């Protein structure tokens, strides 16, 4: 099964990975978790990076892997472009939030799923991470985990027991975000590794615009 299926599940039911990336735009590994979040909400506005994503089960077996590029702009805007393995010129899926709605476009299915961002924010606590520090404090407990192999980790544990995931971990290397992992309730782990991270790049407005292509089905939720 392609990774897009797993990503759709995350986006439609939680969008956890998309949102949590905003927590870690800038950081200093010597700071506390609370200071990391405060620094982010005070200073960080945009981000771009190349990513690889891997899903493993509780036995360590890789279920799927993919990669692409991500763009973020707080509040409420992000874009994930997933490319075919080994083909950076062949787009498989796009996930775009324009500040009002989230669009998931599967090119091979010729289908777009649209969901209100306000509706998602009310139902998905992790999306509060793209909004404000107050909403983060409302939905998460934040802990310093320590340093492993030069990477400093921060854990975010949802206060809602029905959040759909157990924990999100954000890793920083040399004061820059380098990895994000999410452990779901089934024991599966989704890991994002980032490279070429740019903090506060100038992003054109059309990066976060989406128009449903002609001939593509639109499903609204």
Short-list 72, 97, 99, CA closest to 199:
72
Assess whether pLDDT exceeds 70 at residue 158.
yes
| % of the chain with per-residue pLDDT over 90 | 25
Assess whether pLDDT exceeds 90 at residue 27.
no
What mean pLDDT do residues 99-118 have? 91
Which residue bears the tokens 């982010």?
Answer: 40
The domain segmentation of the chain, as residue ranges, is 3-212
Q: Which helix (H) or strand (E) holds 57?
A: none
pLDDT at 7: 42
Short-list 139, 124, 79, CA closest to 221:
124
Q: How confident is the model at residue 160 (pLDDT cuts 50, 70, 90)?
A: confident
Q: Look up the CATH superfamily of 3-212.
A: Lipoprotein localisation LolA/LolB/LppX (2.50.20.10)
What mean pLDDT do residues 18-44 have? 54
Short-list 89, 123, 92, 88, CA closest to 11:
123
| % of the chain with per-residue pLDDT over 70 | 72
What mean pLDDT do residues 28-53 have? 70
Assess whether pLDDT exceeds 50 at residue 25.
no
More confident residue, 123 or 144: 144
pLDDT at 23: 42
Assess whether pLDDT exceeds 80 at residue 113.
yes
Assess whether pLDDT exceeds 90 at residue 146.
no
Q: Which strands form 111-116's sheet, in the order they lie side by side?
A: 140-148, 151-158, 165-173, 176-184, 189-199, 46-56, 62-73, 77-84, 87-98, 101-106, 111-116, 217-220
Q: How confident is the model at residue 121 (pLDDT cuts 50, 70, 90)?
A: low
Q: Is 143 exposed, middle or buried (0-12, 13-18, 19+ CB in 10 A)?
A: middle
pLDDT at 150: 83
Identity of the highest mean pLDDT range in 134-143, 170-179, 205-214 = 205-214
What are 105's two structure tokens?
A: 């476009």
CA angle 118, 77, 82 (to 5 degrees): 115
């Amino acid at each position: 099964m392609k990774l897009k299926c797993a990503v759709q599940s995350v986006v439609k039911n939680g969008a956890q990975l998309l949102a949590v990336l905003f927590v870690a735009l800038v950081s200093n590994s010597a700071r506390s978790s609370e200071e990391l979040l405060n620094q982010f909400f005070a200073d960080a506005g945009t981000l771009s990076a190349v990513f690889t994503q891997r899903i493993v089960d509780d036995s360590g077996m890789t279920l799927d892997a993919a990669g692409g590029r991500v763009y973020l702009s707080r509040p409420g805007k992000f874009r994930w472009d997933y490319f075919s393995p080994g083909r950076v010129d062949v787009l498989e899926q796009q996930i775009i939030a324009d500040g009002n709605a989230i669009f998931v476009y599967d090119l091979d299915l010729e289908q777009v799923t649209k969901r209100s961002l306000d509706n998602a924010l009310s139902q998905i606590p992790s999306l509060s991470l793209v909004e404000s520090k107050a909403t983060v404090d409302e939905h998460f407990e934040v802990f310093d985990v320590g340093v492993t192999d030069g990477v400093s980790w921060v854990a975010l544990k949802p206060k809602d027991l029905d959040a759909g995931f157990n924990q999100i971990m954000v890793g920083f290397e040399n004061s820059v975000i380098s990895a994000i992992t999410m452990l779901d309730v089934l024991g599966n782990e989704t890991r994002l590794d980032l490279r070429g991270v740019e903090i506060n790049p100038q992003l054109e407005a059309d990066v976060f615009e989406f128009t449903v292509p002609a001939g593509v089905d639109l499903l609204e939720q």
